[in-house]
Amino acid sequence: MTTERDRSAAIRLFGRYLRDLGLPVTQQREVVADVVFGAAGHLSVDDIADTLRGCGERIGKATIYRTLDLLVRSRLVAEHDFGEGFKRYEHRLSNHPIHEHLICLECGKVVEFESNELYRVENNVRREYGFVPVRRRLEIYGLCKECHEAGVELPLEGLTCPIETV
Amino acid sequence: MTTERDRSAAIRLFGRYLRDLGLPVTQQREVVADVVFGAAGHLSVDDIADTLRGCGERIGKATIYRTLDLLVRSRLVAEHDFGEGFKRYEHRLSNHPIHEHLICLECGKVVEFESNELYRVENNVRREYGFVPVRRRLEIYGLCKECHEAGVELPLEGLTCPIETV
DNA sequence: GTCCATGCAAACCTTTTGCACTATA
DNA sequence: TATAGTGCAAAAGGTTTGCATGGAC
């Protein structure tokens, strides 16, 4: 969650970003940004549209998409694709601006975690492949603690013979 | 790349998978599978359709999508989303069935690499969060060796002030 | 002969775009 | 007042689905 102070500070930062680019700071942009900065989790565009509708704000989806594009460019917001067929958006105001995601295949819950090992991985690829890392994405899909403890089993649909032995 | 032997073995495995499920082994399914198993890289559906057209095969896209679904379910093929707006497919017959991807933001090249650190990461999340990992996805975006050596610089569009200091 | 697959086109879903109108600076 | 944004609806692009026909078993 975001504190009220972080939230308004973020909106001011977004305004600064827009002004630096010579773009107008419109009401719609501020309202969309406020929804994103004030939310805890990973919002879909529909989530944002629903929230706005709940507040009595009448903002078109095109404007939401266009504002999200600016928010992502400003790096105040991260865009995610968890394979659901649409994108999700998450502000980066937490104490852990760089984190990865655990996604439960049963209930869809997303847990965030940090991994220091990833820095080692990035150093390795830089050294071994000459590849210069800029950003990364690590998602681990599986069963969250609650689903696992509830005894959920995931059906394995693949070949009975593991392909590694082909 | 796949050897001719692996390729035909894979097609036989796919046939077995279909028969185990009581599904017909059709010509179209075998041809699509053959294209995927015979290709080196990460194929888009259009890549597959083009290859088929080049062979004089007249197979509808719906069939390609439906066959890819079966191939992915059989776990002989992996599905990827590199954020291009469409999926890519890669057979899993290599010597390194589990690998991650380095994706060049400049030229789009995809390099595969393996990371033992990831096992450690998975053990950590299991221990710390009670999360049971099933599959993972690690993609590192950046500049490949060639683009980096060619002096390519990526434009940074974000706020000048890093958000970590908000 | 019974299913199921195929191919085509239409539908679907998210995202993007064109355009007349409105608001910012 | 110039410039850019907004909202709506239409378009775009990848993927899925319905349905009549054809093929697998």
Q: What is the pLDDT of residues B30-50, one digit of tens each?
A: 999 999 999 988 999 999 999
- Tokens 């990371």 appear where? B115
**Residue with CA nearest C1' of nucleotide D25:** B24
CA A110 to chain centre: 10
Domain stops at, among B92, B113, B132: B92
User: Among A145, A154, A164, whose Cβ lies nearest the Cβ of B130?
Assistant: A145
Distance B4 CA to D5 C1' (A): 58
Q: For testing the chain A interface, which of B159, B161, B164, B165 should be mutated: the one with the most A CBs within 10 Å? A: B159
Q: Taking CA atoms, what residue in B is nearest to A140? A: B136
Task: Judge contact between A75 and A10, C-beta under 8 A.
Answer: no
Cross-chain residue pair A120–B121, CB shorter than 8 Å? no
pLDDT bin (cut points 50, 70, 90) of residue B1 is: low
Domain membership flag for residue B126: yes
Domain stops at, among B40, B70, B92: B92
In this predicted structure, what is the pLDDT of residue A153?
Answer: 85
Q: Helices B4-20 and B61-73 sit at what angle, rounded to 10 degrees?
A: 90
Q: For testing the chain A interface, which of B71, B88, B137 should be mutated: the one with the most A CBs within 10 Å? A: B137
Q: For testing the chain A interface, which of B122, B140, B152 should be mutated: the one with the most A CBs within 10 Å? A: B140
Q: Taking CA atoms, what residue in B is nearest to A135? A: B141
Residues B144 and B74 in one domain: no
Q: Please spell the DSSP secondary structure of B53-68, one letter per residue.
A: HHTT----HHHHHHHH
Backbone angles phi, psi at A122, to 5 degrees: -65, -40
Task: Judge contact between B144 and A128, C-beta under 8 A.
Answer: no
Cross-chain residue pair B166–A93, CB shorter than 8 Å? yes
Contacts of B149 (CB under 8 A, 6+ apart): A130
Tell me: the pLDDT tens digits for A39-81?
988 999 999 999 999 999 999 999 999 999 999 999 999 999 9
* Residue with more model confidence, A34 or B155: A34
Instruction: Report the pLDDT averaged over residues A13-23.
Output: 96
| Residue B163 clears pLDDT 60, i.e. is over it | no
Domain membership flag for residue A8: yes
Tell me what percent of the residues of chain A surpass a pLDDT of 70.
92
Residues A50 and A109 in one domain: no
Count: domains in chain A: 2
Task: Quote the tokens at residue B14.
Answer: 């796919």
Residues A9 and A88 in one domain: yes
| Residue B165 clears pLDDT 80, i.e. is over it | no
User: Among B102, B104, B134, whose Cβ lies nearest the Cβ of A142?
Assistant: B134
Under 8 Å CB pairs connecting chains A and B tally to 170
Task: Judge contact between A74 and A21, C-beta under 8 A.
Answer: no
**CA of A68, closest CA in chain B: separation in Å?**
13
In this predicted structure, what is the pLDDT of residue A2?
Answer: 76
Residues A108 and A88 in one domain: no
Burial of B66 (0-12, 13-18, 19+ CB in 10 A): middle
**Looking at residue B163, what DSSP letter applies?**
G
Residues A4 and A80 in one domain: yes
* Residue with more model confidence, B152 or B18: B18
Instruction: Report the pLDDT averaged over residues B121-149.
Output: 95
Residue B61's nearest nucleotide, by CA–C1', is: C7
| Residue A145 clears pLDDT 50, i.e. is over it | yes
Q: Find the angle CA(B153)-CA(A83)-CA(A59) to the nearest 5 degrees.
A: 80
| Residue B125 clears pLDDT 90, i.e. is over it | yes
Domain that holds residue B44: 1-92
Residues B86 and B40 in one domain: yes
Q: What is the mean pLDDT of chain A?
A: 90
pLDDT bin (cut points 50, 70, 90) of residue B94 is: confident
Contacts of B1 (CB under 8 A, 6+ apart): B40
User: Among B16, B138, B163, whose Cβ lies nearest the Cβ of A136?
Assistant: B138
pLDDT bin (cut points 50, 70, 90) of residue B57 is: very high
Cross-chain residue pair B81–A76, CB shorter than 8 Å? no
Residues A9 and A55 in one domain: yes
Cross-chain residue pair B76–A133, CB shorter than 8 Å? no
| Residue B164 clears pLDDT 50, i.e. is over it | no
pLDDT bin (cut points 50, 70, 90) of residue A156 is: low
